[in-house]
Structures are given as C-alpha cells and as structure tokens.
Structure 1
Amino acid sequence: MSLRVFAVAAAALFATAPVMANDLIDATDPARILNIARGFGSADLEKDSQGDPKITGRIEGTRYTIFFYGCTNNTDCDDIQFYAAWNGNNKFTQAQMNEWNRTKRYGKAYLDRDNDPVLEMVVNIDYGVSRRNIEDSFNWWKVALRGFKKDVLGEN
C-alpha cells in the first residue's frame, strides 16, 4: 500500500512540474514584469535608446526605471536592473554613498557624472523566478528607495 501512495505522489509531482515551469517569470516577457510593476504603482513599457525594453514607473511617488539586459535583437533578455536618479541634487558626497553601500544590503548607490545621486538594484531572473520572488524584489526595491530618500536625501 505504501508503494502505491508513493507512486501516486510521484506522479502528481511530475504532472505539476511543467505547469510550474510555465509560471516562471524571466526577462524574455517584459509584459509580465510590467503587470507586476503596476501592482506597486504606475508603470509603462517603453524602449531604451538601443531598442531594448524598459519599464518606467513610480513607487510611492518616486520615479524609477527598469532596464532589461542581455537582450538578443531587443528580445530574449536575461536580467533586469532597477534604477532611480535624482537630478539637481548634487550636494551629496562620495562618503554618503559609501556609507549607504557599506550598511545596506539592497540598492547600490553612487554619484553620476553630474554628481547627482543614483540608486540601482540588479535582479537576476535568468532561467525564471516565481511571481512571489519577483514581487519580493519589487518590495526590496521599494524599501531601498524609501530608505535612500530618508537616509541619504533627507526626505520623508
């Protein structure tokens, strides 16, 4: 009897595996990522200067962009990068950026060529991740944006 239970359980596991694989989200389908982005605020799918997809959106009023990387002919991309920049805020120091990077797990900070603060977060979704995983990445991005605005930019 226990062999039969094992066989039924194994068959059920293998029967659901293809369905689970189809549910994985990767950078080859920007529309699915856009759908998730819209759950966190406004978002639109566009193209960057190279013709690769990009998403522009807002989370809690903060404008950000998701860039798609590793694309082949502007499709079949490998990973994504969250990006936010604050123009005209060139009163910040490299020491502040270093302190952020030293003390925070999510969101890499630096000063761009104009000395404006930038926050980025790379998300490896090559080979696919679950919807819950990508939603968790959006949550970490939201936390990083909120913390950066408070701790570095001095905004509430």
Structure 2
Amino acid sequence: MNFIAKIAAAAVLSLPSMASAQMLVASDPDSLVQFFVEEGADVESTVDNTGDPMLEVDYYGTDFTLYFYGCTNNSDCKSIQFFSGYQTEGSVRKAKINEWNANNRFARGYISEGGSARIEHDLYLGNTGVTADDFAALTSKWSKAQGDFEEFIDW
C-alpha cells in the first residue's frame, strides 16, 4: 500500500461514523421521544384521531403537540408538525393573525372555525432525518416562536 493510500485509509478510519450518530426521523417516533427525554422534557407518546403517532411535550415550560404526517398505515411517517392551540374564543382577529404571518417566516398562525388562535410549524424529516443538535436548534426556534405568538395574542 502506498503512502497516500495509507494516509487516506487512516483519515477515513478516524472519522466518526455517520451510522453511529442517531438521526431523528419521523418514521421512528421513539427517536423523537428519546430526544425530548434526554433534554429533560416531559413527553407522552400517544396517537391522534387517525391512529398516527402524536407526542404531547412539555419542553422547559413550553407545552405543545407534535403531530406526524405522511404516514403509511400509521407508521413510516415523513414529516412532523409542532402545534399549539389557544382557546381565545374569537378575541384574536384574523387581521392580527395576518400581521403575525406577514412578519414571521417559520411558524404560521391561524384562527380555527371555533375562534381559537393556533400556531404550527411543519418539518419534513425525510428518510435520513436530522441530527439531535439540529433538532434541538429547530425546537428552540419553535419554542421562541410559540412564546412570541403567545405574547402577540396577549395570552
């Protein structure tokens, strides 16, 4: 084996294996449960009204639901949605929600048919998912947006 090949082989062997780093994927809800548990959050794994996975999360005082979408027979899901709803009984006007949406890129708000204010953020995780560090950053962005939304609607 020549010198360059030996150096290349040593470099490859010294790199951390991509397979060893657990990726968080929607097709494995337990990977997301484990993430929240390791973060010190309270998380309950359940199912939604169609039988798809759903997580109820209390993340550092921020309560939200994580829905799973793009599922086949209630498994092998492709995406997730952070969601939080507020029973505002019509006190938040649609014009205010439109203002929120015009000024906030990632988390969108809307008013339900029953007059409740809601906020959600969709994430496509695909087949390979995201690293725990990236998901922590995404969850932090969601938590901040949720707090900002609560302040915006005077919750």
Q: TM (normalized to structure 1)?
A: 0.85
For this pair of structures, how many residues does the alignment match?
A: 151
Q: Deviations over 1:30-72 (max 9, x none)?
A: 1221222342632200011111110012345443211101111
Higher helix proportion (structure 1 or 2): 1
Are 1:123 and 1:137, in contact at CA under 8 Å, matched by a contact in 2?
no
**C-alpha deviation, 1:154, in angstroms:** 1.9
Among 1, 6, 9, the residue aligned to 1:7:
9
Q: Which residue of 1 aligns with 2:150?
A: 149
Q: Give matches, 1:21-40, under 5 Å.
A: 23-38=22-37, 39=39
Give 1:89 deviation, angstroms.
3.8
| Equivalent residues in 2 for 1:112-151, closer than 5 Å | 112-127=112-127, 128-151=129-152
**Inter-CA distance 59–8: structure 2 relative to 1 (3 Å threshold):** closer
Unpaired runs of 5+ residues, structure 2, are none
Counterpart of 1:80, as a letter, is I
Q: CA deviation at 1:124?
A: 1.3
- Counterparts of 1:77 and 1:104 in 2: how far apart (Å)? 27
**Could you tell me which amino acid in structure 1 is paired with residue 28 of structure 2?**
D
1:81 aligns with 2:76: no
Structure 2 residue identity aligned to 1:10: V
Alignment check: 8 A CA contact 1:109 1:118 kept: yes
Name the residue aligned to 2:19: 18
| C-alpha RMSD of matched pairs (Å) | 2.1
Specify the code of the residue in structure 2 equivalent to 1:92: V
Give per-residue Cα distances to partners, 1:57-115, cap 9 Å, x unaligned. Answer: 23454432111011111111111001111014421111111111111122110111012
SS at match of 1:122: strand
Corresponding position: 1:50 with 2:50: yes
* Gapped regions of structure 1 (runs ≥ 5): none
**How many percent of aligned residue pairs carry the same amino acid?**
25
Asked if 1:103 is matched to 2:81, the reply is no
- Rounded to whole Å, the distance in 2 between the matches of 1:62 and 1:139 is 10
Contact 1:27 1:125 in 2 (8 A): yes
Amino acid at match of 1:16: S
